[in-house]
Amino acid sequence: MLAEAATDPWYATDMAGAGTDFDEARLLEKLNAIEALFAGATTDGERVAAGEARARIQLRLKQLEQADPPMEYKFSVADGWSAKLFMALCRRYGIKPYRYRGQRRTTLMARVSRQFVNETLWPEYEQLSAVLRRHLDDVTQRIITAAIHQDVSDATESAPKAELGPGTEREP
């Protein structure tokens, strides 16, 4: 077993990621703090009670819908991970995301009040997305460094080659 672990690249990845449970715990703390911020939490006890925070936001959403009727919004996000995050956030607040046939997987529609989008939904999505993106980037870098190659720096830039004139062949 020990010899197998020494030659298994996934074992090396697991060892390089030692402490990832701690990283994930910190990530969850950050995400809960963001939720509490948007719910208007003012004490540590409220920040811990994420269920209460969610209920306050849902109540606020219902109140806003009376004064500012829901309208259809089209949200375009960067990638599949972002779409999953946005859909989960919508569903958390009782908003049903949908997409029309032919729309990209990164395009999401939702009926929601303008004020809720501007004051809560989109700002919270942006903050959660930034935290998750940093976490995913860190995990990706650790795995690639441990399992594939230590140099994960960006490619170097070079000046473009001069254009060739007519009748000139370019070597492959």
pLDDT tens digits for range 53-82: 777 777 777 887 788 889 999 999 999 999
Query: pLDDT higher for 56 or 2?
Result: 56
- Position 41 scores a pLDDT of 57
Per-residue model confidence as pLDDT tens digits over 140-150:
999 999 999 99
In this prediction, residue 15 has a pLDDT band, given cuts at 50, 70 and 90, of very low
Q: Where are the domains of the chain?
A: 29-144
CA distances from 72 to 66, 75, 91, 98, 111 (A): 16, 10, 16, 10, 4
Banded model confidence at residue 89, pLDDT cuts 50, 70, 90: very high
For residues 139 and 20, the answer to whether their CB atoms sit within 8 Å is: yes
Map tokens 């000139």 to a residue.
Answer: 168
What is d(CA 84, CA 77) in angstroms, rounded to the nearest whole number? 10
How many Cβ atoms sit within 10 Å of the Cβ of residue 47? 18
pTM: 0.65
Q: What gap in Å lies between CA 85 and CA 100, rounded to an integer?
A: 19
